[in-house]
């Protein structure tokens, strides 16, 4: 990963690259905790953190000199500037979408090099997964699928959304998640029209849709899936909306392969509802890349210019959201191949009535 970055730096005539996004720090250095920065240069690489993490960094981050920033500056920005100045760097790139005004002001005031704002350099690398990354995501998805199987017995009348969310997270940990799982979208009844609603104290009622959007991590790599179930017998309208959502997802998946455009996929996803009363209740964003972070490039939707490439790992999650009635979302996570896709989520997609 470091070689890729150094190659880009050479192409852009950069002496240094200041990395502040923690997921990019992990990708480049193999560090697995928090509160860290990198200064990558053509001659020397610094891993910058505070005393809480220096021992861990020395163990994990080979090829980096670990620096306690408090020993070289009064702030992160001053520490970065002092390190860059000490190497006589002339041009230093930084992640323009991840720096505060305060840090930028401090850095630009003290650094002698020209500051070059860049975006999505490392994110572009991260969007194409290695075999090891793909395998980690397979495992992560299977952990989430097993947790889904286990949670079904707990979804019943009188149980709160918060209780389901807590048990779902517990099941992911007990099934093998090695990072904090997220079961933070568990909503029911009319609340299922909320695209990113958070669990509440609402109790599950007979006839409710229960929508669960959740995932976990394995060796840092994440899963993200959504399933919607019904408590009791589904009404005719619930069955109709669920069937349309299933078709939306499958139509989108059917066109996903290397070379497919976001427009291709979005247009496929809306075919099933385009001439129905439900068309107005869909959402234009329907998927995203996923890896070390849950929302990565490529992003897919009506206004995205993304083009899929082999070994992207993305979600696909069109949905129907009807205010004051409810909604349905089914989300899968897929590996993009030359001729199609491999679905990493094996949990059933047929309507489950509990």
Contact by Cβ (8 Å): 214, 183: yes
Contact by Cβ (8 Å): 123, 296: yes
32: left (phi over 0), alpha (psi -120 to 50) or beta: alpha
The answer to whether the bond into 298 is cis (omega within 30° of 0) is: yes
What predicted TM-score, i.e. pTM, was given to this entire model? 0.95
Q: Is residue 17 part of a domain?
A: yes
The pLDDT of residue 11 is: 96
Residues 77 and 153 in one domain: no
Domain termination residue (choose one: 100, 125, 150) = 125
Query: What is the chain's alpha carbon radius of gyration, rounded to the nearest angstrom?
Result: 23
Give per-residue pLDDT as tens, 320-333. Answer: 999 999 999 999 99
The pLDDT of residue 254 is: 99
The tens place of each residue's pLDDT in the chain, 354 residues long, gives 889 999 999 999 999 999 999 999 999 999 999 999 999 999 999 999 999 999 999 999 999 999 999 999 999 999 999 999 999 999 999 999 999 999 999 999 999 999 999 999 999 999 999 999 999 999 999 999 999 999 999 999 999 999 999 999 999 999 999 988 877 899 999 999 999 999 999 999 999 999 999 999 999 999 999 999 999 999 999 999 999 999 999 999 999 999 999 999 999 999 999 999 999 999 999 999 999 999 999 999 999 999 999 999 999 999 999 999 999 999 999 999 999 999 999 999 999 999
Q: Tell me how far apart the alpha carbons of residues 226 and 73 are, in angstroms, rounded to a whole number.
A: 46
Residues 108 and 144 in one domain: no
The pLDDT of residue 155 is: 99
Angle, helix 161-174 to helix 131-151, in steps of 10 degrees:
130
Q: Tell me how far apart the alpha carbons of residues 296 and 153 are, in angstroms, rounded to a whole number.
A: 33
Work out whether strand 65-68 and strand 45-49 pair parallel, antiparallel, or are unpaired: parallel
Q: Tell me how far apart the alpha carbons of residues 326 and 320 are, in angstroms, rounded to a whole number.
A: 9
Q: How many residues does the chain have?
A: 354
Q: Tell me how far apart the alpha carbons of residues 225 and 329 are, in angstroms, rounded to a whole number.
A: 10
Q: Which structural domain, as residue segments, surrounds residue 114?
A: 2-125
Residues 117 and 51 in one domain: yes
Q: How many Å separate Cα 228 from the centre of its chain?
A: 20
Helix, strand or coil for residue 201?
coil
Residues 121 and 202 in one domain: no
Q: Is residue 348 part of a domain?
A: no
The pLDDT of residue 1 is: 82
Residues 204 and 295 in one domain: yes
The pLDDT of residue 318 is: 98
Residues 258 and 338 in one domain: yes
DSSP collapsed to 3 states, 321-351: EECCCEEEECEEEEEECCCCEEECCCCCCCC
Residues 207 and 331 in one domain: yes
Residues 118 and 148 in one domain: no
- Tally the domains of the chain: 2
Contact by Cβ (8 Å): 27, 121: no
Residues 253 and 198 in one domain: yes
The pLDDT of residue 317 is: 98
Residues 229 and 337 in one domain: yes
Contact by Cβ (8 Å): 331, 247: no
Cα of first residue to Cα of last residue in the chain, in angstroms, is: 47
Q: Is residue 351 part of a domain?
A: no
> How far apart, in Å, are the Cα atoms of 242 and each of 237, 248, 273, 282, 300?
8, 10, 12, 13, 22
Residues 80 and 153 in one domain: no
The pLDDT of residue 184 is: 82
């Amino acid at each position: 990963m470091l070689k890729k970055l150094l190659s880009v730096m050479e192409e852009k005539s950069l002496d240094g690259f200041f990395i502040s996004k923690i997921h990019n720090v992990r990708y480049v250095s193999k560090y697995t905790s928090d509160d860290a920065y990198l200064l990558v240069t053509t001659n020397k690489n610094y891993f910058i953190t505070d005393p809480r993490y220096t021992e861990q960094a020395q163990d994990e981050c080979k090829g980096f000199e670990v620096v306690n920033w408090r020993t070289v500056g009064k702030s992160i920005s001053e520490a970065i500037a002092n390190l860059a100045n000490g190497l006589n760097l002339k041009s230093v790139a930084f992640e323009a979408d991840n720096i505060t005004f305060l840090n930028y002001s401090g850095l630009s005031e003290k650094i002698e090099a020209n500051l070059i704002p860049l975006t999505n350099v490392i994110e572009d690398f991260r969007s194409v997964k290695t075999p090891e990354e793909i395998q980690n995501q397979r495992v992560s998805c299977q952990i989430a699928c097993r947790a889904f199987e286990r949670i079904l017995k707990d979804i019943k009348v009188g149980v709160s959304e918060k209780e389901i969310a807590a048990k779902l997270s517990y099941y992911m940990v007990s099934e093998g998640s090695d990072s904090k799982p997220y079961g933070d979208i568990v909503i029911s009844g009319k609340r299922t029209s909320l695209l990113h609603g958070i669990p509440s104290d609402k109790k599950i009622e007979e006839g409710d849709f229960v929508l669960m959007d959740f995932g976990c991590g394995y060796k840092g790599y994440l899963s993200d899936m959504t399933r919607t179930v019904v408590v009791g017998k589904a009404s005719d309208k619930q069955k109709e909306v669920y069937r349309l959502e299933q078709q939306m997802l499958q139509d989108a998946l059917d066109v996903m392969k290397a070379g497919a455009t976001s427009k291709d996929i979005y247009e496929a996803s809306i075919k099933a509802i385009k001439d129905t009363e439900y068309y107005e209740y869909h959402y234009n964003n329907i998927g995203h890349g996923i890896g070390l972070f849950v929302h990565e490039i490529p992003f897919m939707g009506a206004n995205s210019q993304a083009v899929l490439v082999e070994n992207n790992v993305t979600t696909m999650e069109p949905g129907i959201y009807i205010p004051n009635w409810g909604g349905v979302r089914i989300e899968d996570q897929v590996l993009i191949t030359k001729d199609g896709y491999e679905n990493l989520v094996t949990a059933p997609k047929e309507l489950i009535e509990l």
